[in-house]
Amino acid sequence: MTAMMNQSATTELKMAPRGGAFAGGLLAIDDLTGDQIREILTLAASVKTDGCVLGGAYAGALAGLSVTMLFEKPSLRTRMSFDIGLTKLGAHVVYLDHASARLGAREAVKDYAKNLERWTDAIVARVFKHAVLEELSAHAAIPVVNALSDLEHPCQTLADLQTLIERYGSLDGLKVAYVGDGNNVCHSLMLACAKLGVSFTAVTPKGFEPRFGVVKSATAAAHETGATITISRSIDDIKGHHAVYTDTWVSMGQEHQTGLRGGEFTHLQVDADIMAIASEGLEEPAAFMHCLPAHRGEEVTDDVIDSAQSLVYEQADNRMWAQNALMLKVFGKQ
């Protein structure tokens, strides 16, 4: 994670207390160790169990702190889970909509960051380009949290892992398959699985594989934990995987590629047949996962996403609890 910038004594007096290794926020799963991921997941389970309601163990834990949410992309789950979740913890949230004017267009990102650090205690940013997050973090003397970029979606992955733990009791011995576009969601999930010893298989069309640098980093981590990382174009390689994860074939900002991508992905639509392949050799059917929004009838069929094996709404629920745990860590409250 990005180190805190040097700052004047005047500015430092305005800063909220920070929390150790999480002091700079979180830009990428690749910045965390396996132990740090486990810390967040353990706390997320506690936050969910004990609650943030009046009288709960974490109610008011972030009272007096303000968090700014900068969103270049629209959102349902990310906005609601951060806004309501932080409010449950007692923080004040300010939402800044940058859908029509991206960061850096009206004012330099550096100047934006240096202004925000005077008023707010952390920045949660949902952006098109990961470089914008890095620039914000480099110039703001407050934590910056990645709520989605083109490179990674770390908060989603934390919620996904929490959901898998709830389903299977632990992550030990699990295998996770990702089917579709090797995008930001694929990147974060693959890296986290590698760091936690969970074997991971990505099945993508040719030309839509996850980025080489991410695969290289995940493979190195997997070597240390005993996990395996497989990048494939054959759906048969997902046999015996406990979860099948997919995402939209065209991400926000790539709509101009819709016509080009459609035909490349149709054979990877997650239907009952693909779920049956994943379930081969397992004691119970494989779970289905999707970060949403889903394009029903495209990357997944209705009978799969609405099945008893589908975890999509549990994933959405856990966005709030995983993010609350992360923010408690960022502010040094746990």
Residue 61 falls in which region: left (phi positive, over 0), alpha (psi -120 to 50) or beta? alpha
**Residue 172 a catalytic site member:** no
Instruction: Note if 291 is an active site residue.
Output: yes
Q: What is the DSSP string of 205-258?
A: -TT-PPPHHHHHHHHHHHHHHT--EEEES-GGGGTT-SEEEE--SS-TT-GGGH
Q: Which of 31, 261, 291, 315 is catalytic?
A: 291
List Cβ neighbours of 92 (8 Å cut-off, separation of 6 or more).
65, 66, 67
Half-sphere exposure of 159 (CA within 13 A, CB side): 27
Distance between CA atoms of 29 and 191, rounded to whole angstroms? 7
Q: Report which of 103, 203, 216, 198 is spatially closest to residue 157, judged by C-alpha positions.
A: 198
Given the residues 30, 121, 150, 247, select the one marked as catalytic: 247
Catalytic residue from among 153, 187, 241, 261: 153
Known active-site residue 254: no
The single-letter code of the amino acid at 315 is: Q
Q: Which of 126, 139, 187, 261 is catalytic?
A: 126
From the candidates 155, 319, 323, 334, which is the catalytic residue? Answer: 319
- Per DSSP, the three-state class of 144 is strand
Does the annotation mark 261 as catalytic?
Answer: no
The question of whether 296 is a catalytic residue gets the answer: no
Catalytic annotation, pick one of 79, 121, 156, 242: 156
> Residue 326 has which token pair?
């992360």
Per the CB < 8 A criterion, the answer to whether 229 and 273 are in contact is no
Q: Is 153 a catalytic residue?
A: yes
Three-class DSSP category at 123: strand
- Active site members: 126, 153, 156, 247, 291, 319
